[in-house]
Amino acid sequence: MSDDDQELGITESKEHSPGDWYAEVVQKAGLADYAPMGGFIVTRPRGYALWEAIQDNLDGWFKETGVDNAYFPMFIPESYLEREKDIVEGFDPEVAWVTHGGHDELEERLAVRPTSESIIAPYMSQWVRSHRDLPLRVNQWNSVVRWEATETKPFFRTKEFLWQEGHTAHASDEGAWAETTLRLDQYQRLYEDVLGIPVLRGQKPDHDKFPGADTTTTVEALMPDGKSVQGGTSHHLGQSFADAFDITFSDEDEAEKTAYTTSWGLSWRAIGALVMSHSDDQGLVLPPTVAPKQVVIVPIWQEDTKEEVEQYSAEIAAELEAQGVRVHFDDRDGRNPGFKYNEWELKGVPVRFEVGPNEVEDEEVTVVHRPDGESTVEDRADITARVHDHLDEVYEKLYDAAAERLDENVREASDRAEILGTIGQHGGYVKAPWCGDEDCEAEIKDQIAAEIVMVPLGEDSAARAASEFEGERVPEPDHEGEDCAVCGEAAEETAYFAKSY
Ligand SMILES: [Zn+2]
């Protein structure tokens, strides 16, 4: 980074211009740049490291629970995609097409995958023969392309995005539902235990499900600007894909049965939610769980103290590293400590150690937390043990702030004016009784661009008991005697209205 970059620092305000602020943080913290083609970004090493941290966690949990990784081609023959279009009402993604190979026009156009159901399902059909082949679980880490013309927003709105897509087949409906909620659990765990972001867990209203799905479940994260981010979705596809692609098996009695399938995906939008949730007007703020460097050591010296301060700092760095802490000792000569503080604040290092002649003499270390600047002095002898407490404390500060924001921003409304007024004034989620009719959502959408981001999850009690998460934030509501807040007909669900990314 040059001096000029730092003089500018972050110039936009998170509170007053969140969109410009976000774009500035992403670029100045070195996460991403804009590509020459609209709708595409270049993910820089510091940004890609965040994706790798997400991958490491999810991939480990997937493998612990029976998932194998595989890889399918990025191109899908048009006839395959058409097959999905024929059977799945509403499946009409904006697709990029390959029409030429070298100098020759292709006999059949190839779609750049917008999602891979239509090329994976035919292979599942070949691989599944008997009940002994089930459950079949494959996942792929890849990118997909959806040619939607919107303004580029790194990690939130891009034509190509990184994600994982899991695809499974099961012998029973219950097995497929358990799979659907298990993956939703893992997405929730990623947000809450790794990214420091509490989520609401629910399902999409019927009119907003993944085309062909029985149920689309979702985790929703509230951003500080009051909008909801769909953080990951897990679809119970029932038998629609298995019927269309002939995924059948012979059961114990040699009877031919149709399988049940699921698919589930989480994209780099999680990086966007991470950046937006925790960062501030000084720059990026990261939880220690995913930060490429968790601790930076900044030495403070005059010529006559340089040697002892640097030696003391280097020893601490070596000790931390031996403890598995990701530490950086910033011993650059040409930069003063203030410059270094600003730079590492901008780049989101969670904990800073300051070491000067006083620390050396008193055998201490000054420890500063990135999110709130809290500063404490620790004994040198305790530092390798205490550093983990500091990293945990930083995580808790970030999680607690996000949880408090979520708690304060779920409000209730009982009529149309109240829905509009509450979202208009506060943002966040507004819970309202709803009849289930899409027209009632359209009325709200037309006026303030808020939609129903979820309704509570209709989990059966067995799935709920098996779940690691109780879903306590979204209890199953009782609609006895309640009327739809929009049209006044009998309510069937509790709708969570919010503006959405
Ligand atoms: Zn209604």
For 60, counting Cβ atoms within 10 Å of its Cβ (0-12 exposed, 13-18 middle, 19+ buried), the class is exposed
Separation of 376 CA from ligand 1 center, angstroms? 55
Could you list the pLDDT tens digit for every one of the 501 residues in the chain? 444 445 568 999 999 999 999 999 999 999 999 999 999 999 999 999 999 999 999 999 999 999 999 999 999 999 998 887 766 666 667 899 999 999 999 999 999 999 999 999 999 999 999 999 999 999 999 999 999 878 899 999 999 999 999 999 999 999 999 999 999 999 999 999 999 999 999 999 999 998 889 999 999 999 999 999 999 999 999 999 999 899 999 999 999 999 999 999 999 999 999 999 999 999 999 999 999 999 999 999 999 999 999 999 999 999 999 999 999 999 999 999 999 999 999 999 999 999 999 999 999 999 999 999 999 999 999 999 999 999 999 999 999 999 999 999 999 999 999 999 999 999 999 999 999 999 999 999 999 999 999 999 875 544 444 555 544 445 556 676 789 999 999 999 999 999 998
Separation of 214 CA from ligand 1 center, angstroms? 22
In eight-state DSSP terms, residue 206 is G
Separation of 486 CA from ligand 1 center, angstroms? 5
Separation of 484 CA from ligand 1 center, angstroms? 5
Separation of 425 CA from ligand 1 center, angstroms? 23
Separation of 448 CA from ligand 1 center, angstroms? 17
Separate counts of helices (H) and strands (E) for the chain: 15, 23
Separation of 485 CA from ligand 1 center, angstroms? 7
CB-based contact 493:482 (threshold 8 Å): no
Separation of 429 CA from ligand 1 center, angstroms? 18
Separation of 211 CA from ligand 1 center, angstroms? 23
**Which residue, 23, 57, 26, 56, is CA-closest to 44?**
26
Separation of 483 CA from ligand 1 center, angstroms? 8
pLDDT tens profile 23-60: 999 999 999 999 999 999 999 999 999 999 999 999 99
Pairing outcome for strands 410-412 and 364-369: unpaired
Separation of 454 CA from ligand 1 center, angstroms? 15
Task: Extract the tokens encoding 398.
Answer: 């970030």
- Cβ neighbors of 46 (< 8 A, separation 6 or more) are 29, 30, 31, 292, 347
Buried b (16+ CB within 10 A) or exposed e, 406-422: beebbbebeebeebbeb
Query: How far apart are alpha carbons 80 and 279 in whole angstroms?
Result: 43
Separation of 265 CA from ligand 1 center, angstroms? 31
CB-based contact 501:230 (threshold 8 Å): yes
Separation of 438 CA from ligand 1 center, angstroms? 8
Query: How far apart are alpha carbons 199 and 45 in whole angstroms?
Result: 27
Query: How far apart are alpha carbons 79 and 12 in whole angstroms?
Result: 48
Separation of 491 CA from ligand 1 center, angstroms? 7
Whether the bond between 477 and the residue before it is cis, its omega within 30 degrees of 0, is no
Which residues on adjacent β-strands are paired with residue 261? 169
For 446, counting Cβ atoms within 10 Å of its Cβ (0-12 exposed, 13-18 middle, 19+ buried), the class is exposed
Separation of 91 CA from ligand 1 center, angstroms? 26
Separation of 487 CA from ligand 1 center, angstroms? 4
∠ CA 389-394-397, rounded to 5°: 120
Query: How far apart are alpha carbons 401 and 397 in whole angstroms?
Result: 6
Separation of 456 CA from ligand 1 center, angstroms? 17
Query: How far apart are alpha carbons 98 and 110 in whole angstroms?
Result: 5
pLDDT at 84: 75
N-term to C-term CA, the chain? 31
CB-based contact 371:285 (threshold 8 Å): yes
Query: How far apart are alpha carbons 307 and 401 in whole angstroms?
Result: 41
Separation of 434 CA from ligand 1 center, angstroms? 5
Query: How far apart are alpha carbons 429 and 114 in whole angstroms?
Result: 30
Number of Cβ within a 10 Å radius of residue 146? 17
pLDDT tens profile 404-461: 999 999 999 999 999 999 999 999 999 999 999 999 999 999 999 999 999 998 755 4
Separation of 378 CA from ligand 1 center, angstroms? 60
Global pTM value = 0.94
